[in-house]
Amino acid sequence: MPEGPELHKAALLVNTMCKGRVFTGKIKKSAANYKNPEVEHNYKEYTIRAESRGKEMAVILSGYPLANDKKRAKKNGDLRILFRFGMSGRFQFGPVDEMHKHAHLNFYTKTEKKDKGLVLSFVDVRRFGGWQVKDTWSEDRGPDPMFEYQAFRENVLNNLDSSVFNKPLCEVLHNQRYFNGIGNYLRAEIIFRSGIPPFTCARDVLESLQVYPEEKKPCTPDLLELCHLVPREVVNLPGVGYEPSGSYSGYSRFQEWLQCYYNTDLNNLVDHDGRTMWFKGKPGPLAPKG
């Protein structure tokens, strides 16, 4: 499943591919994707840019100011489409005649008649992803630990009285209200580096931490700082990060980076939510029984 680094890289890819390009026409949704809405707009022509926050990515359409139509473009404003990638979502850009068979939402470039058209597509083989037209990030998602670290840290430490933190640490790290962008491989790598048994009560781990002033941070990163540092390491790797098929050329670098996730020399347990947790040493007192 794509996690925070993968959505950040996807936004960078969209920005690179769409820079300097003009799009036009209807945004086409595949007939097979019946659960997600049609996306309509009033632009004659438009540009595209993208941004991400944790496990969400926004594609933002802006009216392209035609020489004789600048007032209309300004009046229409921006259209913001919020995507969640689910298990297999990603973006692809290329010729229309090479469009992926699982392309579910498609944005077409303006082309001259003699040229082949290009298309930006949201591709989702397993169809767990989705989109909606929305002006803001989702209210049930917390700050991004990679790029909103201080707000992320405060959001966790100021809410430790929530019953959520009664659960095992490894399960709480999947809660997107507090750990937006952290998923299965990141939680394994973060907890592995912390040396904490994964099925320790999350509150017991976190209640001793403080929102440190920048100049007083400890030399050894604590669990929350690892939630900031570890994903950023993935961002700095070549390629798109985690990709279930492992089909891109730089994927070996990501595999080399992994220390814990799917390491058959280590231990694993299925947690209370049905997800496999990889770890070293003892699981901790809240481990599933049997």
How far apart CA 38 and CA 27 sit, in angstroms, is: 8
- 74 band by pLDDT with thresholds 50, 70 and 90: low
Q: Which two tokens stand for residue 12?
A: 């960078």
Tens of pLDDT, residue by residue over 7-43, are 999 999 999 999 999 999 999 999 989 999 999 999 9
> Which residue among 2, 5, 197, 231 is the active-site one?
2
Average pLDDT over every residue of 104-123:
89
Q: DSSP letter for 87, please.
A: T
At residue 232, what are phi and psi to the nearest 5 degrees? -70, -30
Average pLDDT over every residue of 129-153:
97
- 277 band by pLDDT with thresholds 50, 70 and 90: very high
At residue 251, what are phi and psi to the nearest 5 degrees? -65, -25
Active site residue 55: yes
How far apart CA 235 and CA 260 sit, in angstroms, is: 18
Q: At what angle do helices 4-18 and 223-235 cross, to 10 degrees?
A: 30
> Which residue among 9, 29, 51, 55 is the active-site one?
55
Start-end of CATH 1.10.8.50 domains in the chain: 149-279
Q: Which two tokens stand for residue 260?
A: 């814990």
Count Cβ atoms below 10 Å from residue 280 Cβ, excluding itself. 16
How far apart CA 128 and CA 172 sit, in angstroms, is: 22
Query: Which residues are CB-neighbours of 231 under 8 A, at least 6 positions away?
Result: 3, 4, 5, 145, 146, 181, 182, 186
**CATH class of the domain defined by 149-279:** mainly alpha
Q: DSSP letter for 255, please.
A: H
- 153 band by pLDDT with thresholds 50, 70 and 90: very high
Structure pTM? 0.91
Q: Of 65-69, 70-74, 204-208, where does the model show the most confidence?
A: 204-208
* 263 three-state secondary structure: coil
% residues pLDDT > 90 (the chain): 79
Start-end of CATH 3.20.190.10 domains in the chain: 4-133
> Which residue among 3, 51, 171, 225 is the active-site one?
3
Write down the CATH number for the domain with range 4-133. 3.20.190.10
- 152 band by pLDDT with thresholds 50, 70 and 90: very high
Query: Which residues are CB-neighbours of 181 under 8 A, at least 6 positions away?
Result: 3, 4, 5, 7, 53, 54, 55, 144, 145, 146, 231
How far apart CA 136 and CA 126 sit, in angstroms, is: 26
69 pLDDT more than 90: no
Active site residue 3: yes
Q: Where are the beta strands (DSSP E) in 85-167?
A: 89-95, 103-108, 118-124, 130-133
How far apart CA 214 and CA 209 sit, in angstroms, is: 14
| Angle value at C-alpha 232, between 207 and 178, nearest 5 degrees | 35
> What confidence score (pLDDT) does residue 218 get?
63
